[in-house]
């Protein structure tokens, strides 16, 4: 009986067995050394064991049918009964073997459902059929039912099919139980030290456990026994790659086509190109990796892993559109591919497509609702979209899933801080630091929340802790610069900003922050230079354009200022700060109607915008409408009660209306709130002037100008105090200086 005709072995495998002089069922049943046959035929031990079990059963049934027997009259009835039972049992075994063989054929075609059904039929007829239990386990493993497969392998082991050990090892590995898999693989090798499959499975398990040296050793043992065993070549390449020996891995993979040729297989293999791509990527050769992934896909267009790997490499290269296209191809082939859904969400988020990103993260969570990483990523996308409530809800889920994870508390703190809940954020950062006290990043984030709350000293302390842990932490230096600026210590702030820029000279935001400090210090030219450096690095920065507009306005370059604000608004029409700065520049140029319109736009976008109310108050004050000015300044004070300048402005308006006691009360509040020394001297000057102490007021204004020589308001107020005390020539000089610094200023007639 030819194997390919009777036994159900495919013609390809039958040809391999024939080359090893195994051409019939009898030949296969008579084999005693399966390792030798495996080496000669290039057929795995697993298949040979299964086929030999079935062949011996088939041959035995044939032999039994050929035996003649004599019938004695005296025992005819007994013999007939015995023969009926014997024939029935062997007939059931023959039928079981037929189902088993058909199951093998279906298994070879990857029809696992059909194979499982046939193996179960075989076992219903012959429950102790070890080969059927073994192959049923293989089919269940192929289908992904690892628990079912393990149960069948254990049944095969009870029936003394020791070859089930290496299969059991493999399935335990697939299930993720690497320690149990190691035990079974070592049992298999203790019984059969030359079992190539067991060495290869052990190599694979060790790879998954991260023991790459052990994996390499086992793969070498497998290849010493069978040099053309492809699985071990692949596993060895993987172990070398994971160990960081990328050149060794690449060499290993590049040798595989020759082994495939020797086996009579097509040399060009999509898996091999994919693995070479992974090794090249690990080595840092992105272009080479991309080329290999494309070769894999040319050979196998529906290769999910190659689409995924190509997408990842394209994203890292900066080709986000290409990456998105490849992730979508992978998901079209495998819609439940969680990593592809997550990564696609991340690329879309990086592109600014927050809705698209949120959709993909939600798909991932629908498949795996309790994955903290997916909740965290969804929270990040929601936060960047501006949905702080949604972000907080997702981060709370992460904390519920991982209550001891410092990073989860840190992320929740960031979301709370962005919403304006600084106290809630500070509480979460403390929770994070209780779990991870040496995190420079969490100390930095705590500093940000404290600074936003107005506790600059505590913020500075946290930034210093962050820098003690990570001296080259550029962001912490920059944040320390901001906190120092807000305290009014401009020189210390400038020092920290320069440290940040030394570490990251091309960061546009660091240049903007340094520009802000220089502007506050009244070094307008220095500020302009920094904003222009930021724009040279990031021309599309609406923030840099808006801030440049503000400082040009302060310099009296109104047309240039207005042009910069309009550039900012062309980039971001809903940028409230740019509308506010544009309004200020228009007001200074004399276009009060335009200024009022822009302040209105700023407030439409940001109804609680204190600076815009203050700006409207300035316009009203300038035209002498003190009641309107007082109303607007009071709105600013209500929104920012701890901002000294708002109280000072309200004091001026009250003073203009003649409410000197009310003005004095506001000046005193401004004086207690303002930490800027120049601003304190200015307010104190106003307070003294209102009390009729011109001499004291003049002294305070001169202190202001010693700190800020280009402060137009201080020159103007000093001129008024000088004029009031009868020093007209000095007053005229100060009025002219104020006019020079503020060309739109209207001087008194006398």
Q: What gap in Å lies between CA 54 and CA 132, rounded to an integer?
A: 9
- What pLDDT is attached to residue 32? 75
Helix (H, G, I), strand (E, B) or coil at 114: helix
- What pLDDT is attached to residue 14? 66
Q: Is-contact 100 92, C-beta < 8 A?
A: no
C-alpha 452 chain-centroid distance:
27
The tokens for 372 are 């903290």
Q: What gap in Å lies between CA 2 and CA 12, rounded to an integer?
A: 13
Res. 704: pLDDT tops 50 = yes
CA distances (Å), origin 624, targets 326, 583, 619, 627, 628: 65, 18, 9, 9, 9
Res. 716: pLDDT tops 80 = yes
Mean pLDDT of 336-363: 96
- What pLDDT is attached to residue 82? 35
- What pLDDT is attached to residue 53? 55
| Enclosing H/E stretch for 285 | none
Mean pLDDT of 88-108: 81
Q: Is-contact 401 372, C-beta < 8 A?
A: yes
Q: Is-contact 64 94, C-beta < 8 A?
A: no
**244-287 pLDDT per residue, tens:** 999 999 999 899 888 888 777 788 889 999 999 999 999 999 99
Alpha carbon distance, N-terminus to C-terminus of the chain: 127
- What pLDDT is attached to residue 1? 45
**Model confidence band, residue 667 (pLDDT cutoffs 50, 70, 90):** confident
Q: Which of 144-148, 254-258, 338-342, 410-414 has the least mean pLDDT? A: 254-258
Mean pLDDT of 424-441: 97
Res. 561: pLDDT tops 70 = yes
**Model confidence band, residue 12 (pLDDT cutoffs 50, 70, 90):** low
Res. 433: pLDDT tops 70 = yes
- What pLDDT is attached to residue 270? 93
Q: Which of 37-46, 457-466, 642-651 has the least mean pLDDT? A: 37-46
CA angle 60, 66, 72 (to 5 degrees): 115
Cα-Cα-Cα-Cα dihedral sign, residues 657, 658, 660, 662: negative
Burial of 248 (0-12, 13-18, 19+ CB in 10 A): middle
**670-693 pLDDT per residue, tens:** 878 866 678 778 888 888 888 889
Mean pLDDT of 84-109: 75
- What pLDDT is attached to residue 69? 33
Phi, psi of 148 (to 5 degrees): -65, -40
**Model confidence band, residue 6 (pLDDT cutoffs 50, 70, 90):** very low
C-alpha 385 chain-centroid distance:
16
Q: Average pLDDT over the chain, rounded to whole?
A: 88
Alpha helix locations (H) across 436-489?
A: 440-453, 456-469, 474-487
- The per-residue DSSP string of 628-668 comes to HHHHHHHHHHHH-TT-HHHHHHHHHHHHHHT-HHHHHHHHH
Q: What gap in Å lies between CA 43 and CA 269, rounded to an integer?
A: 20
Helix (H, G, I), strand (E, B) or coil at 552: helix
Q: What is the DSSP letter of 747?
A: P
Burial of 70 (0-12, 13-18, 19+ CB in 10 A): exposed
**Model confidence band, residue 63 (pLDDT cutoffs 50, 70, 90):** very low
> The pTM is what?
0.67
Go through the domains of the chain in sequence order and give each one's CATH number: 1-68 (1.10.150), 675-750 (1.25.40.10)
Res. 535: pLDDT tops 70 = yes
Mean pLDDT of 663-669: 85
CA dihedral 538, 540, 546, 547 (to 10 degrees): 0
Res. 425: pLDDT tops 60 = yes
Res. 452: pLDDT tops 80 = yes
- What pLDDT is attached to residue 44? 65
Question: What residues form DSSP beta bridges with 2?
Answer: 24
What HEC string does 61-76 produce? HHHHHHCCCCCCHHHH
Number of residues that this document lists for the chain: 750
Q: Which residue has the tokens 């075609």?
A: 109
Neighbours of 661 (CB within 10 A): 8
- What pLDDT is attached to residue 68? 33
All residues at 6 or more sequence positions from 363 whose CB lies less than 8 Å from its CB, including other chains: 341
């Amino acid at each position: 009986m030819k194997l390919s005709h009777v036994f159900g072995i495919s013609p390809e495998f039958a040809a391999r067995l024939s080359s090893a002089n195994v051409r019939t069922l009898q030949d296969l049943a008579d084999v005693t050394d399966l390792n030798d046959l495996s080496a000669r035929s290039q057929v795995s031990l697993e298949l040979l064991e299964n086929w030999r079990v079935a062949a011996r059963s088939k041959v035995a049934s044939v032999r039994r049918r050929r035996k003649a027997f004599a019938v004695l009259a005296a025992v005819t009835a007994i013999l007939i009964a015995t023969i009926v039972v014997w024939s029935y049992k062997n007939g059931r075994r023959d039928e079981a073997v037929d189902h088993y063989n058909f199951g093998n054929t279906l298994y070879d075609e990857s029809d696992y459902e059909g194979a499982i059904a046939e193996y179960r039929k075989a076992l219903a007829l012959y429950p102790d059929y070890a080969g059927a239990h073994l192959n049923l386990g293989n089919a269940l493993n192929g289908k992904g039912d690892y628990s079912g497969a393990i149960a069948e392998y254990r049944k095969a082991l009870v029936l003394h099919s020791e070859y089930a050990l290496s299969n059991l090892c493999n399935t335990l590995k697939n299930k993720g139980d690497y320690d149990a898999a190691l035990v079974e693989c070592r049992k298999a090798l203790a019984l059969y030290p030359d079992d190539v499959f067991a060495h290869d499975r052990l190599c694979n398990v060790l790879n998954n456990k991260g023991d790459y040296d052990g994996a390499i050793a086992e793969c070498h043992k497998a290849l010493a026994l069978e040099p053309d065993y492809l699985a071990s070549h692949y596993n060895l390449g993987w172990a070398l790659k994971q160990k960081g020996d990328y050149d060794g891995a690449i060499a290993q993979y590049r040798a595989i086509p020759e082994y495939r040729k020797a086996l009579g297989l097509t040399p060009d293999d999509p898996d091999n190109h994919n693995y070479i791509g992974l090794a090249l990527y690990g080595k840092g050769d992105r272009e080479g990796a991309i080329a290999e992934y494309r070769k894999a896909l040319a050979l196998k267009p529906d290769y999910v892993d190659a689409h995924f790997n190509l997408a990842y490499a394209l994203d890292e290269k900066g080709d986000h559109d290409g990456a998105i296209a490849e992730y979508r191809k992978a998901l079209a082939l495998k819609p439940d591919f969680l990593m592809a859904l997550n990564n696609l969400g991340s690329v879309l988020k990086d592109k600014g497509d927050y809705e698209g990103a949120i959709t993909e993260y939600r798909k991932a969570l629908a498949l795996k609702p309790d994955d903290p990483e997916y909740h965290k990523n969804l929270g990040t996308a929601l936060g960047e979209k501006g949905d702080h409530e949604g972000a907080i809800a997702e981060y709370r889920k992460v904390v519920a899933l991982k209550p001891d994870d410092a990073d989860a508390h840190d992320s929740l703190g960031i979301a709370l801080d962005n919403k304006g809940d600084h106290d809630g954020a500070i509480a979460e950062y403390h929770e994070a630091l209780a779990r991870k006290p040496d995190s420079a990043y969490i100390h930095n984030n705590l500093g940000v929340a404290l600074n936003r709350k107005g506790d600059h000293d505590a913020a500075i302390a946290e930034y210093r802790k962050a820098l003690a842990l990570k001296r080259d932490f550029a962001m912490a230096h920059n944040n320390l610069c901001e906190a120092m600026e807000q305290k009014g210590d401009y020189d210390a702030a400038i020092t920290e900003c320069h440290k940040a820029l030394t570490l990251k000279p091309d960061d546009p935001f660091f240049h903007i922050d340094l520009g802000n400090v220089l502007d506050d210090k009244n070094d307008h030219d220095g500020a302009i230079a920094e904003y222009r450096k930021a724009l040279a690095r990031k021309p599309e920065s609406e923030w840099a354009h808006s801030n440049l507009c503000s400082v040009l306005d302060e310099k009296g370059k109104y047309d240039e200022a207005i042009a910069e604000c309009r550039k900012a608004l062309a980039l971001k029409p809903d940028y409230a700060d740019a509308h506010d700065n544009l309004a200020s520049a228009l007001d200074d140029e004399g276009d009060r109607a335009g200024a009022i319109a822009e302040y209105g736009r700023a407030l439409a976008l940001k109804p609680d915008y204190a600076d815009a109310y203050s700006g409207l108050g300035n316009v009203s004050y300038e035209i002498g409408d003190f009641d309107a000015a007082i109303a607007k300044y009071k709105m600013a004070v209500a929104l920012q009660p701890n901002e000294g300048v708002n109280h000072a402005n309200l004091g001026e308006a009250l003073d203009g209306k003649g409410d000197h006691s009310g003005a004095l009360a506001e000046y005193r509040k401004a004086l207690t709130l303002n930490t800027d020394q120049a601003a304190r001297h200015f307010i104190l000057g106003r307070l003294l002037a209102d009390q009729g102490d011109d001499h004291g007021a003049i002294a305070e204004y001169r202190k202001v100008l010693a700190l800020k020589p280009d402060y137009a308001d201080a020159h103007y107020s000093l001129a008024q105090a000088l004029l009031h005390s009868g020093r007209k020539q000095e007053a005229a000089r100060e009025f002219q200086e104020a006019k020079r610094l503020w060309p739109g200023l209207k001087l008194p007639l006398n």
